[in-house]
Amino acid sequence: MANPHRGEFEFEAAGEKYILRFSANAVVDLEEAFDVTLGQLGERFQSLDAVRLADIRTMFCVGLEDKHRDLTKDQRIKLFGELLPMEATQLVMQAFQRSFGVSEVVVAENPPKPGNPPSGTGPASTETGVG
């Protein structure tokens, strides 16, 4: 069973339950795989416009390592192939965000572009005398 307080995210694929987890070591593996800093890693995965499905597969495989060391890299890749692209993306992004203390992330097919927050959610909407 997954422990959300430890950043674990449980999902089912191919009739089995699995846990994705991005521990500190997993994040280091991602920094090395993508040759980026932690900050750049976070920025890179804020928008689906900048993410390739190959990146999601890399994250998926790294995220499985902590709890499923018995699975070979080829088995993790095969498991990834059992998922639909948006399903895999949502699983990885939810698990990745959970590892940084965010409990729920919904990956929209057309997410808003950075710098264009939905109306009524910016700092001006909370100032005195507005709205």
**What's the pTM value of the predicted model, to 2 decimals?**
0.74
* Across 12-21, 57-66, 77-86, 92-101, least confident range: 92-101
- For CA atoms 61, 64, 65, 66, give the dihedral sign: positive
Whole-angstrom Cα distance, residue 77 to residue 93? 17
Q: Confidence band (pLDDT; 50, 70, 90) for 127?
A: very low
**Residue 58 pLDDT:** 97
Cβ neighbourhood burial of 73 (10 Å; 0-12, 13-18, 19+): exposed
Pairing of strands 8-13, 16-21: antiparallel
Q: Residue 131 pLDDT more than 50?
A: no
Whole-angstrom Cα distance, residue 124 to residue 22? 35
Mean confidence (pLDDT) of the chain = 81
**Residue 101 pLDDT:** 75
